[in-house]
Amino acid sequence: MDDYYEIYKRDGYVEIPNVFGFPIIDDLQHTFDLAIEHIQSGIGAGKFETCQNLTPNFYDANRLVTSTIYDVGGDKVVVDICGLTEFAYGMSGGLLEDQMFLYPPQVEGIVKEELKTYYNAEVGAIHKPANQEIVGELGWHRDIATLFEDEALDLSLPEWELSMFIPLVDLTPENGSLEFILGSHKASREECKELPRKVALGKAGDVFLFSGKTVHRGIKNTTDEERPVVYVTYRKKWVKDLEIYV
Ligand SMILES: O=C(O)CCC(=O)C(=O)O
């Protein structure tokens, strides 16, 4: 087992440096900018229908209460009350379908080891606005949709979902990084209270890989620069992402 995999298994979360070079980060930033500009201007102009088919996530119940979901050309765009915009719109084609992007060697081995076969990769992105002073942080949650509405049972099962986050800017404690509870992929909500926490502080080009079971939250962005992130979620094909696609 390599070192990154060992950390992933222990903490449910690992930071892997220098996975993507600057031409790729620039390309992602360009794609991201085009998509978010289309989304934000369309929302501003009242161009998109809102659709209310977000299903409550057992591990992130607040999401349903605090989000508005727009239909942008058939893709769901989730806008959270704290201004976070999560979207798959525009995040396809070209580089985003390249196997070297979806499965960089440092990540591919871990994904394969965890999910074995019969999984796919979906790309999405998250825009976090600047100057989030008044609004709150995205609360602690797991990304998985529960399989059996039973936390202990879900946690005892093999992995069915992992995500690779790719910050497009260097992350600092101020600009809206993510915070993880280490070991929480194997721990109940109660047990999580005793576990150590870590704020992910990667540079653009680093990635962080975490289990869908790992409890995490988004931190406020108090800087005056927006915080863009692209992510790839690896999921067994028999699981539906109930949170967005039902
Ligand atoms: O981007 C963030 O700050 C939070 C994202 C997050 O927690 C999620 O998408 O599950």
Task: Give the atom of ligand 1 at the shortest distance from the alpha carbon of 143.
Answer: 10
Q: How far is the CA of 194 from the centre of ligand 1 (A)?
A: 22
216 lines ligand 1 (CB under 6 A): yes
pTM: 0.95
Calpha distance 216→197 (Å, rounded) = 9
128 lines ligand 1 (CB under 6 A): yes
Backbone angles phi, psi at 16, to 5 degrees: -120, 115
200 lines ligand 1 (CB under 6 A): no
142 lines ligand 1 (CB under 6 A): no
Question: Per residue of the chain (246 residues), what is the pLDDT tens digit?
Answer: 699 999 999 999 999 999 999 999 999 999 999 999 999 999 999 999 998 766 778 888 777 778 899 999 889 899 987 789 999 999 999 999 999 999 999 999 999 999 999 999 999 999 999 998 755 556 899 999 888 889 999 999 999 999 999 999 999 999 999 999 999 999 999 999 999 999 999 999 999 999 999 999 999 999 999 999 999 999 999 987 665 443
Calpha distance 51→78 (Å, rounded) = 10
Q: How far is the CA of 218 from the centre of ligand 1 (A)?
A: 5
143 lines ligand 1 (CB under 6 A): yes
Q: Which helix (H) or strand (E) holds 197?
A: strand 197-199
CATH class as words, domain 2-236? mainly beta
Q: Is 82 helix (H, G, I), strand (E, B) or coil?
A: coil
Question: Among 91, 138, 216, which is best to mutate for testing ligand 1, by the most ligand atoms less than 8 A from CB?
Answer: 138
Question: Could you tell me if 70 and 79 are in contact, meaning their C-beta atoms sit under 8 angstroms apart?
Answer: yes
Q: What angle do CA 11, 15, 20 make, to 5 degrees?
A: 150
138 lines ligand 1 (CB under 6 A): yes
Q: How far is the CA of 23 from the centre of ligand 1 (A)?
A: 25
Q: Which residues pair with 218 in a beta bridge?
A: 138, 178
176 lines ligand 1 (CB under 6 A): yes
Calpha distance 184→87 (Å, rounded) = 26
Q: Is 122 helix (H, G, I), strand (E, B) or coil?
A: strand
Task: Give the atom of ligand 1 at the shortest distance from the alpha carbon of 86.
Answer: 9
Backbone angles phi, psi at 3, to 5 degrees: -60, -40
